[in-house]
Amino acid sequence: MSVAVFVAQEVGRTLTDGGGWLPTVTIDVSESPAVADLARVHAVEGIGDVSTSAIRDDDTVVIGVQLTKPVQAIFAVVFSYALHQEFLNEVAEKGSLIFATTDTEVAQQESPIWLSVDIDGDALRQAINTAVAE
């Protein structure tokens, strides 16, 4: 299985139905139809099995996502630690990340389905802090 790799384009927060704010990263999935369809599949079939990992190499932080049910998929998103340090700490604290895969400018009017996954906050914190200590 190949790994689709995306670069974090924009980061921000999305207001959830429950009234809370969750960290959100915009990624361009136009060249990866399988990843583009994940939000719809999970909305129809349920969340399924998701695991995440994180690594840091100098200024690069990579969050990996692997789904095994209801479909198999694996992808990674690359962040700049210098640009996204505060955001990545918020992701670790919240333990959740929304992947915005459509135009965020029209999201409020169109209410698109985006992929939200639980993030292993401890693993993300460890990856960030381990690299800092070295």
Q: Is the pTM of this model over 0.85?
A: yes
Q: What is the pLDDT of residue 107?
A: 63
CB contact set of 131 (below 8 Å; sequence gap of 6+): 56, 57, 58, 81
Give the pLDDT confidence score for residue 133 in this predicted structure: 53
What is the domain extent for residue 29?
A: 4-133
Total of domains in the chain = 1
Confidence (pLDDT) at 132: 60
Q: What is the mean pLDDT of each run of 10 residues along the chain (134 residues)?
A: 89 87 94 88 79 95 90 93 96 94 70 84 92 55
What pLDDT sits at residue 1? 63
At 115 the pLDDT is: 85
